[in-house]
Amino acid sequence: MKEAFRWYGPKDPVSLADIRQAGATHIVSALHHIPNGAIWEIEAIKQHQKLIDDAGLKWEVVESVPVHEDIKQRVGDFEYYIENYKKTLENLAYCGISVVCYNFMPVLDWTRTHLYKPLDDGATALSFEIDALRAFDLFILKRKEAKKEYNPDQIEAAKIYFNTLDTAAVEALTQSIIAGLPGAEEGYTLNQFIERIQAYKHLTKSDLHQHLILFLKALVPTLERFELKMCIHPDDPPQPLFGIPRVVSTAADLDHFFKAVPALANGLTFCTGSFGVRADNDLQSMFDKHASRIYFLHFRSTLRDGKGNFYEANHLEGDVDMYSMVKAALSEEVRRKKLGRTDWEIPMRPDHGHQILDDLHKVTNPGYSAIGRLRGLAELRGLALAISKIV
């Protein structure tokens, strides 16, 4: 596997030098300063690329080129934004970048309710607490439809949770959910967030599925012409939020999507953490079924409590059988190499590391501190080396 770190650009507290010292050889990055829907011009891509090249690293995967909300809803200027997206893809291909990770999550990108959950060993982790989310929905956001979507016991539990919060805790919860986490290209005020949610009221899961399919069908000619691969990232968490459906959460979602757009340019970012939040997702089966179109790997693990809550576990712990996942990835690489595929080596990055050691005293991007991810990469590298001796 090509060992990578995500880098958020020159303002990232984790420098390219830090990443190289961690042992990574590749960078996963994006032009985060460019507004959603705007074209990434060749010169801007090359400038970013040069920073990475000069640090002795390689940029082969973009994460992400954001999908404009108009495209997801197929309203307003969605056709204009699709054309801009095509032009960005063409420009990336011109610069030698061939893999693009993206997601189709409405309004919010990946979502957590707490950014620094204390763990028994003194580290902190990202976490998702269902009562906290419902408390925010019912008593802070005050979404009108919320009371109809939760049962009485859920509402009572959310009320009890909300009553434990002081003003600072309410603000912290609000900012965790709507202000935008690393990689989420947009943050909102409370009023903006309500408006964005209301815009999806008329859309069903079937509608959103169809919009995703139409978007990819529009891109396929460009992808095939320039030998590009789009890799959709699963929903995080893989469940509806605030009454809005999500469409890349389950095995059935993947089957539907890839059957509708079978072109191999339509690929998958296999995120073990996102899919692993659902106990009904059989990760091994999902990987095996779509292995030929997996072009990017996010290896991380979460720990569920069976009540809708989870937090980011250490990379070799939690609910994900990381041994099986790494073995599946290495076996797929062997298969591709035998077929003579030039893309046989799959880019992989450790994801959502704990905040540990000196990073506990630094300002870092939640989930993207240096040392926690270094630990994750080191553990995954060791596991991969051992497995490589037997596959």
**Catalytic-role residue among 109, 114, 200, 271:** 271
**Catalytic-role residue among 18, 131, 351, 359:** 351
The token duo for 30 is 């994006």
Contact 27, 57 (CB under 8 A): yes
Q: What Å distances lie between residue 64 and 8, 137, 158, CA to CA? A: 11, 28, 34
Beta-strand relationship, 310-313 and 124-128? antiparallel
Beta strands in the chain (DSSP E): 2-6, 26-29, 58-63, 99-102, 114-118, 124-128, 229-232, 266-271, 294-299, 301-304, 310-313, 347-350
CA-to-CA distance for 158 and 173, rounded, in angstroms? 13
Active site residue 288: no
The token duo for 186 is 């947009």
Task: With H, G, I as helix, E, B as strand and everything else as coil, classify residue 272.
Answer: helix
**Catalytic-role residue among 233, 235, 295, 315:** 233
Active site residue 271: yes
**Residue 333 CB contacts under 8 Å (≥ 6 apart), including other chains:** 1, 344, 345, 346
Q: Which of 23, 30, 24 is nearest to 7 (CA)?
A: 30
Active site residue 256: no
**Catalytic-role residue among 81, 102, 295, 368:** 368
**Catalytic-role residue among 298, 315, 354, 359:** 298
- Please give the full DSSP string across 53-104, using - where no structure is assigned: HHTT-EEEEEE--PPPHHHHHT-TTHHHHHHHHHHHHHHHHHTT--EEEE--
Active site residue 233: yes
| Active centre residues (catalytic) | 233, 271, 298, 351-352, 368
